């Protein structure tokens, strides 16, 4: 509830406050919330309703369309003031602008606020007045601006309307799955602002100091795991900024040290993602760099299926995809590896990977998801060089040095010793037998040769960039 400018403004009016949530997923277009997002939303709304009741108010839930539904609540209650916190997805921007204009024409006071970002996308501009497309100068510009305001602390009681408007029950929205694929989510997450604040407190008290070295280790608890809480507005980046600042003060760190910390820089990448999506709204589905529209992606349903199921035959990739399916989350280093494998080894379109992440991540965020996939494919702003292809074997050996991450999520390889845990297809037959592994039976053989598939992709990239004809991709080469 804290650091919520819309609620703060509503409380400042001195009038009763109606907390309204409108469920209108059809207004999200092709980016309607996925299954994992809906799961989190159900529990987040439940926790919010409990919090409001404990503070003398309620959560009013209605089903869309948003404009008509809001009009209905205004007519029923006589409300004259409407506040909300801004969203930045292209369809949401257009919808909210239309609602704001219509209500103001009718004489209502309507305002929207920034709750989710340190800087509005339009507040940061290059010397020529345009948007940034490279992260480092963008973040340098952000850090040169005034410090984010201190987060607002919500009151313990909220003035409530009488009589109460009638809404629908959370359960009627049908957000939870009908089959139990969410079993692994339940012990993994605590949706709601209390869970977010607890995670932040734990993180800054310990893992934050070693974040720079441990953030790339999927076998360690070295990250904050706040991304879903940020996406759902259960905590804001200003709260993160000030928690880091206060902890740095306790440790006696110089301002320049904590402000340039790797963790705050990662918060900056999230800001950059929103900056890009706002200024380039077509990028969730189209490459920012136009030449990539000619790249010969391979629309292979079977390859995508094997990747999404964690059955590629590459242990680190499979571990990441299984962690995603089981928990709704994947370690960021592994996200880059699995994305690189799909795009640059299998040559499956980055949009296909982005859509799978959208449906399975509890932190599915259109801006961050788009930035990550376009960065991996090399077709976006601040893109990685097109010739950078993550090697999942060397990445596993470097960042999962004892194989513990792979053993947890790919248990059929659990008895394999190092270094074979990351490259079972190269293990001597007696080693495989001793570990109880038969490739092709207990664990898949690799879908493609990492070496050959990398060379094939780089050749296609080179021809595309040179403006030469780019032939369609060949079938994958199975590495026996």
For residues 433-448, average pLDDT = 97
For residues 188-194, average pLDDT = 97
Of all residues in the chain, the percent with pLDDT exceeding 90 is 92
Q: What pLDDT is recorded for position 470? A: 52
Of all residues in the chain, the percent with pLDDT exceeding 70 is 96
CA dist., res. 365 & res. 363, Å (int) = 6
Residues 6+ apart with CB under 8 A from 145: 119, 123, 124
Whether 13 has a pLDDT exceeding 80, the answer reads yes
Q: What pLDDT is recorded for position 387? A: 76
| 204-214: pLDDT as tens digits | 999 999 999 99
Q: Give the active site residue among 208, 241, 258, 350.
A: 350
**CATH number of the domain at 290-465, please?**
1.10.579.10
Q: What pLDDT is recorded for position 479? A: 33
For residues 83-111, average pLDDT = 98
Q: What pLDDT is recorded for position 384? A: 65
CATH class of 116-154+193-279: mainly alpha
* Residue 358 tokens, joined: 């959208």
For residues 317-345, average pLDDT = 98
Whether 477 has a pLDDT exceeding 70, the answer reads no
| 332-345: pLDDT as tens digits | 999 999 999 999 99
Q: Is 266 a catalytic residue?
A: yes
Q: Is 332 a catalytic residue?
A: yes
Whether 1 has a pLDDT exceeding 90, the answer reads no
For residues 405-426, average pLDDT = 98
Q: Is 23 a catalytic residue?
A: no
Q: Give the active site residue among 28, 85, 269, 445.
A: 269
Q: Give the active site residue among 297, 307, 325, 425.
A: 297
Q: What pLDDT is recorded for position 261? A: 95
Q: Give the active site residue among 27, 332, 412, 445.
A: 332
Residue extents of the structural domains in the chain: 5-114, 116-154+193-279, 290-465
Q: Is 350 a catalytic residue?
A: yes
Whether 198 has a pLDDT exceeding 90, the answer reads yes
Q: Give the active site residue among 27, 120, 188, 266.
A: 266
Whether 87 has a pLDDT exceeding 60, the answer reads yes
CATH topology of domain 5-114: Rossmann fold (3.40.50)
CB 29 within 8 A of CB 171: no
pLDDT tier at 476 (50, 70, 90 boundaries)? Answer: very low
| 248-305: pLDDT as tens digits | 999 999 999 999 999 999 999 999 999 999 999 999 999 999 889 889 998 889 999 9
Tokens 């999927």 sit on residue: 218
For residues 93-104, average pLDDT = 98
Its pTM stands at 0.95
Q: Is 291 a catalytic residue?
A: no
Q: What pLDDT is recorded for position 478? A: 34
Whether 474 has a pLDDT exceeding 60, the answer reads no
Q: What pLDDT is recorded for position 388? A: 84
Q: What pLDDT is recorded for position 469? A: 58
Q: Give the active site residue among 31, 373, 375, 420.
A: 373
Q: What pLDDT is recorded for position 383? A: 66
């Amino acid at each position: 509830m804290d650091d919520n400018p819309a609620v703060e403004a509503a409380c400042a009016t001195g009038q009763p406050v109606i907390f309204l949530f409108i469920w209108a997923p059809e207004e999200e277009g092709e980016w309607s919330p996925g299954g994992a997002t809906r799961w989190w939303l159900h529990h987040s709304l439940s926790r919010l309703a409990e919090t409001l009741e404990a503070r003398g108010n309620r959560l009013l839930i209605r089903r869309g369309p948003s404009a008509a539904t809001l009009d209905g609540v205004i007519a029923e209650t006589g409300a004259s003031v409407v506040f909300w916190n801004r969203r930045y997805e292209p369809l949401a921007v257009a919808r909210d602008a239309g609602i704001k204009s219509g209500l103001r024409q009718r004489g209502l006071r309507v305002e929207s606020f920034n709750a989710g970002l340190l800087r509005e996308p339009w507040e940061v501009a290059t010397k020529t007045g345009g948007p940034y497309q490279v992260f480092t100068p963008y973040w340098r510009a952000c850090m040169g601006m005034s410090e984010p305001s201190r987060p607002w602390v919500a009151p313990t009681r909220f003035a409530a309307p009488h009589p109460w408007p009638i809404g629908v029950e959370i359960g009627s929205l049908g957000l939870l799955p009908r089959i139990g694929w969410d079993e692994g989510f339940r012990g993994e997450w605590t949706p709601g602002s209390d869970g977010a604040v607890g995670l932040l407190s734990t993180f800054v008290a310990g893992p934050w100091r070693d974040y720079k070295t441990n953030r790339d280790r999927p076998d360690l608890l070295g990250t904050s795991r706040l991304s879903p809480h940020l996406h759902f507005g259960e905590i804001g980046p200003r709260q993160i900024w000030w928690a880091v600042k206060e902890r740095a003060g306790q440790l006696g760190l110089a301002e320049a040290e904590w402000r340039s910390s790797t963790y705050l820089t990662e918060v900056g990448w999230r800001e950059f993602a929103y900056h890009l999506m706002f200024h380039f709204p077509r990028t969730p589905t189209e490459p920012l760099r136009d030449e990539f529209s000619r790249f010969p992606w391979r629309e292979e349903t079977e390859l995508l299926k094997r990747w999404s199921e964690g059955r590629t035959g590459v242990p680190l990739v499979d571990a990441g995809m299984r962690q995603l399916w089981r928990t709704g989350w994947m370690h960021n280093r592994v996200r880059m590896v699995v994305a690189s494998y799909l795009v640059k080894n299998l040559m499956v379109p980055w949009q296909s990977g982005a859509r799978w992440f959208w449906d399975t991540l509890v932190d599915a965020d259109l801006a961050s998801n788009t930035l990550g996939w376009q960065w991996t494919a090399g077709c976006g702003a601040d893109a990685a060089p097109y010739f950078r292809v993550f090697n999942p074997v060397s990445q596993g050996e470097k960042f999962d040095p004892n194989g513990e991450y792979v053993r947890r999520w790919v248990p059929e390889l659990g008895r394999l010793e190092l270094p074979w845990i990351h490259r079972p297809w190269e293990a001597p037959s007696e080693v495989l037998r001793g570990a109880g592994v038969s490739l092709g039976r207990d664990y898949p053989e690799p879908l493609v040769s990492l070496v050959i598939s990398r060379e094939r992709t780089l050749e296609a990239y080179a021809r595309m960039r040179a403006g030469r004809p780019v032939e369609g991709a060949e079938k994958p080469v199975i590495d026996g």
